[in-house]
Structures are given as C-alpha cells and as structure tokens.
Amino acid sequence: MTRTRLPNRRWALTRDIDFDGHAYAVTVGLDIAGRPAEVFVKGQRHGSALDALLDDCCILASIALQYGARPAELRRSLSRVPALGDALGPATAPASPLGAILDLVADIAEGAAA
C-alpha cells in the first residue's frame, strides 16, 4: 500500500473540542474525495511537552490515514473509559486527548461517507 499524496491546496475543517477541562482546536484536512487525510491540534501552551506530544500523535495519525487506515479503526484502537457519571457503565469515552481528537476525525469521516 502506498501513501496518498495530498494536493497542495485542500479543504479543511476546524472544530473545537474539550477534553478534561482543556479546550483544543482540531483541524482535519480532507483529501479530494472529502475524507479525512490529516489532523492538526492546538490548545496546549506552545513549546510544552504535551503540545509536542499531541503534534507527534497527529503526525502519526495523519500518516496512518494517508496509508489507508480508517478513522473508526484508529478510534477503536485507543483506550476508552466509562463516561463521566457512569463509572459502572461501558467504556465509551476517550481516555486521552488523542482519543477525543480521533473521535472527531471519525465523526467527520462518517459524515463524509453519508
């Protein structure tokens, strides 16, 4: 399988998400067919360890998407925890900011497929 080359100019969607009381701006770049092909995030103090970690995670997620990984598969591969207020329920909420970011990417992909 080869990596999809993205055009120099492409559509992107930016959405705000919240994880554990922290706001993040997530930008999802779309391929020619309107599917998510790259992801960027901002929301932590520039230069912090978490900022660098999230940048690196988004680079890896983008490479996976460009090699054909489905956003829903990426989302399912990450840790989940019970939703707030439902400690005994199923693990349905993302356990990390990356999980919340990939939830958004998968939701955008599902919207593009509809």
| 1 assigned to some structural domain | no
Is the predicted pLDDT of residue 86 greater than 70, yes or no?
Answer: no
Residue 114, pLDDT score:
61
Average of per-residue pLDDT values in the chain: 92
- Does a structural domain hold residue 2? no
Query: Does the residue 25 lie in any domain?
Result: yes
Number of compact structural domains in the chain: 1
Please state, for a pLDDT cut of 90, what percent of the chain lies above it. 75
4-40 per-position pLDDT tens digit: 888 899 999 999 999 999 999 999 999 999 999 999 9
* Res 54 pLDDT > 90: yes
Task: Identify whether 57 is part of a domain.
Answer: yes
Evaluate whether residue 5 is within a structural domain.
no
Q: Domain for residue 7, yes or no?
A: no
Q: Can you give the residue range of the structural domain that contains 43?
A: 12-113
* pLDDT over threshold 90, residue 97: yes
Indicate whether 3 belongs to any domain.
Answer: no
Residue 44: per-residue pLDDT? 84
pLDDT at 89 over 90: no
Stretch 67-90: mean pLDDT, rounded?
87
Higher per-residue pLDDT: 83 or 59: 59
Residue 87 falls within a domain, yes or no? yes
Give 26-33's long-range contacts (Cβ < 8 A, gap of 24+): 26/101, 26/104, 26/105, 28/104, 28/105, 28/108, 29/62, 30/112, 31/4, 31/6, 32/7, 33/112
Under the banding of pLDDT at 50, 70 and 90, the label for residue 41 is very high
